[in-house]
A and B are shown apart, each in its own frame.
Chain A
Amino acid sequence: MRESTIMKIHYGTALAAVALVAVHILMRLTQGFADSLEYESVLANYKLIPYAIMLELILILLSVHGFNGLRVILLELRQGRTYEKAVSYGCLAAMIGLIAYGSNTIIRTNMGIV
């Protein structure tokens, strides 16, 4: 993938994440911040399908943006063909791993398994 395509994704995910995280924070504030973090309230949020979809989107957007940012920082710290390949594939694997782990939590909670 060309670097410009990756950076378009990087900027796009940042903008989308800001918008969705703003909605997420507003939801916390409208419910009363402390109350919204109660165990039952959190579970209720996960069980509401539109909200669960939004949490899943935030997870994907932040993971893609964050791990690409980490890749960029690591590429600037050191150079070398092997190192750069390890960083790129390592960040991709970590990103997939985090999304899989987070998705597992969201889906299981939504289905009432947790």
Chain B
Amino acid sequence: MAQVSSIADEKTSTHVSPSKSVLLRISRYNPEHDDSSKFMEFNVPYEKWTTVLEAILEVKKHYDHSVAVRYSCRQATCGSCGMKINGKPKLACFTKISELDSDVVTVEPMNNFPVIRDLAVKFERLFDTHQKVKPYLIRDDTELESDEKEFPQSPAELEQYIQFANCIKCGLCNSACPTMATDSSFVGPQALAQAYRYVADSRDKGKDSRLKIIDESHGIWRCHFAGSCSQVCPKGVDPAMGIQFLRGYLLGFRS
């Protein structure tokens, strides 16, 4: 474990209050060279509004530029900066250090994802399962060919699925899921929530084919309803509820 506490000469981009600093512990791991992960520690100044991502970028800028982290929008829209922050899956750009109520902030790569390096993880499995549930409207006609030009939908019909359309594919739900940890073939809460998003869409005609996809030995029935997926979602999506609704379709309680 290495500790780096001296700051480089370059000035920070924000006004820094000398009374506030946090010990940022960053998990370092390169699968090509390292047998196991180790933590590097940095004393990072912060303000009330400083996010964990900004603290990590401060470390990259002033202490160690080799820290690997994936990020893009910095406003909880792109879903790139998911990681474990003090043990819980969160978006680094959406988590303020001041709200963590701790002098130590530990950042690690998300669980249930293979590590590329440090905090960056591979998303192939998430994108594969997402693609598997056909995340698009299935119907024979198209808006371009239809006489009405568009497929009308009432507010009540929109309400059936709109929260599930907020998914940003950050992978936090899959990271928190206990079944994902043991079952490498499990389709996962993200894909199941997206399956429900399209099954519940009144414009979609692909319910039967989509239900068939998730109705297999590593599909929807392997969910234990721990509910951790819904707890960690930064966009307020409730995958656990979507999974229960999908089970309702498969058990014949919903049509």
Q: For residue B124, give the distance in angstroms from its CB to the closest CB of chain A.
A: 16
* Given known contacts A4-B250, A8-B251, A75 and B217 CB-to-CB distance under 8 angstroms: yes
Contact A79 B218 (CB under 8 A): yes
- Does B64 reach chain A (CB closer than 8 Å)? no
Contact A75 B221 (CB under 8 A): no
- Does B179 reach chain A (CB closer than 8 Å)? yes
- Does A76 reach chain B (CB closer than 8 Å)? yes
Q: For residue A25, give the distance in angstroms from its CB to the closest CB of chain B.
A: 28
> Which residues on the B side are within 8 Å of A79 (C-beta)?
183-185, 218
A4 CA to B253 CA in the complex, in Å? 13
Contact B185 A4 (CB under 8 A): no
Contact of A76 among B182, B216, B250 (CB under 8 A): B182
Per DSSP, are chain B's interface residues mostly helix, strand or loop, or mixed? loop
Contact B221 A4 (CB under 8 A): yes
Contact of A2 among B184, B185, B215, B222 (CB under 8 A): B215
Which residue of chain A lies nearest to B219 when distances are taken between CB atoms in the complex? A3
Q: For residue B217, give the distance in angstroms from its CB to the closest CB of chain A.
A: 6
Contact B183 A3 (CB under 8 A): no
Which residue of chain A lies nearest to B181 when distances are taken between CB atoms in the complex? A76
A80 CA to B183 CA in the complex, in Å? 11
* Given known contacts A4-B250, A4-B251, A8-B251, A84 and B182 CB-to-CB distance under 8 angstroms: no
A79 CA to B187 CA in the complex, in Å? 13
- Does A19 reach chain B (CB closer than 8 Å)? no
> Which residues on the A side are within 8 Å of B179 (C-beta)?
76
Contact A75 B215 (CB under 8 A): no
Q: For residue B125, give the distance in angstroms from its CB to the closest CB of chain A.
A: 13
Which residue of chain B lies nearest to A8 when distances are taken between CB atoms in the complex? B251
A111 CA to B183 CA in the complex, in Å? 48
As a 0/1 sequence over residues 72 to 98 of chain A, the CB contacts with chain B under 8 angstroms (1 = contact) are 100111010000100000000000000
- Does A7 reach chain B (CB closer than 8 Å)? yes
A90 CA to B247 CA in the complex, in Å? 27
> Which residues on the A side are within 8 Å of B219 (C-beta)?
3
Contact B222 A76 (CB under 8 A): yes
A residues within 8 Å of B by Cβ?
2-4, 7-8, 72, 75-77, 79, 84
B residues within 8 Å of A by Cβ?
179, 182-186, 215-219, 221-222, 250-251
Additional A-B contacts beyond A4-B215, A8-B251, A76-B179 (15; CB < 8 A) = A3-B215, A3-B217, A4-B221, A4-B251, A7-B221, A7-B251, A72-B221, A75-B217, A75-B218, A75-B222, A76-B183, A76-B222, A77-B182, A79-B183, A79-B184
The 3 closest A-B pairs by CB, nearest first: A4-B250, A76-B183, A79-B185
What are 14 A-B contacts defined by CB distance under 8 Å? A3-B216, A3-B217, A4-B221, A4-B250, A7-B250, A8-B251, A72-B221, A75-B183, A75-B222, A76-B179, A79-B183, A79-B184, A79-B185, A79-B218
